[in-house]
Amino acid sequence: MIIDCHCDTVLQAYLTDRLITARSSSGHLDLPRLQESGVKIQFFALFPGISSSLSPLKQILILGDFFWEQYEHNLEKIKLLTSSSDLVEAMESDKLGALLTVEGGEVLEGELRILRILYRMGVRSLCLTWNNRNEIADGVAEGDARGLTDFGREVVKEMNKLGMIIDISHIAEKGFWDVLELSDAPVIASHSNSRAVWDHPRNLTDEQIKGIAQKKGLVGLNFVSEFIGAPDSGMKKLLEHIDHIFDLVGDDYLAFGSDFDGTDNLISGIRDVTIYPEIIAELEKRNYKESTIRKICWGNCLRILQQIL
């Protein structure tokens, strides 16, 4: 069983006019392939990548409607996770559990009420920034990075109150530490890797990884070659990131956050979501205990979902 903490399939499917629920030869995942690969819960990000001529909020609303349209026609196959009871239902049935997320706090336009509207739409996680500055904080692409703004602090507190998962992938380091200090709940880096293994601004330093562990959160390893490093080495390099984080903080804070359909540059050897059984086999070859593999594949993320939802 797998829980994957990040994909951009909603946007990719919208742009290519395909159904998430039908098998496709394009894109990295769809419902049949998720089921074949053993994915039980998939986080579906709404990312404002439709057109720069539309506001981020308008794009998110369009993508949210696109998701809901397919969800309502497939209620017998998918369960949207908005509460702990939904989580139980998904885990005890044959349905795919779907967690709806938003990537980039600029969609809030500085209005806390929009956060609550998104919550009522079924969104249960917000990635506070993408790479750039917004009303909440600065992303990793900002050179002179600031931390949480006053509005950003309000957002963190309101997400804690509502029961939303705070995602700190993409946020600049000062904002990262502000969030960890302020949040009452665990936080996740849904699709981030280790900077000690591959020095990229999107990856996490050892101190950041330790901070997430101290907060009882998790790091979702992504499969993008730019963040893994040495793309031709493929799976071997991904496993180095897993090894490093395991050696640093143990097995309670690792998960997967593939970033499927958010890139054209997956590491070699990873074609789409059906790769997960092969990743598990590689972990077994490296003599990871069965209990550790369960934690990485689904246990750690399930703990977060149970606590926050």
Please tell me the distance from the alpha carbon of residue 4 to that of residue 6, in angstroms, as a whole number: 6
Please tell me the distance from the alpha carbon of residue 3 to that of residue 40, in angstroms, as a whole number: 6
The residue extents of the domains of the chain are 2-308
Q: What is the DSSP letter of 260?
A: B
Q: Which CATH class is domain 2-308?
A: alpha beta
CB 229 within 8 A of CB 237: yes
Note the pLDDT of residue 306. 97
β-pair partners for 45: 101
Is residue 23 helix, strand or coil? coil
Please tell me the distance from the alpha carbon of residue 278 to that of residue 274, in angstroms, as a whole number: 8
Note the pLDDT of residue 269. 87
Note the pLDDT of residue 144. 75
Q: What is the DSSP letter of 107?
A: G
Sequence letter at residue 31: L
Residues in the chain: 309
Nearest alpha-carbon partner for 95 in 108, 115, 106, 81:
81
From first to last of its 309 residues, what are the pLDDT tens digits of the chain? 999 999 999 999 999 999 999 999 999 999 999 999 999 999 999 999 999 999 999 999 999 999 999 999 999 999 999 999 999 999 999 999 999 999 999 999 999 999 999 999 999 999 999 999 999 999 999 977 899 999 999 999 999 999 999 999 999 999 999 999 999 999 999 999 999 999 999 999 999 999 999 999 999 999 999 999 976 767 899 999 999 999 999 999 999 999 999 998 898 889 999 999 999 999 999 999 999 999 999 999 999 999 999
- What residues contact 86, with CB distance under 8 A and at least 6 apart? 79, 80, 97, 309
β-pair partners for 189: 219
Note the pLDDT of residue 231. 63
Please tell me the distance from the alpha carbon of residue 225 to that of residue 229, in angstroms, as a whole number: 6
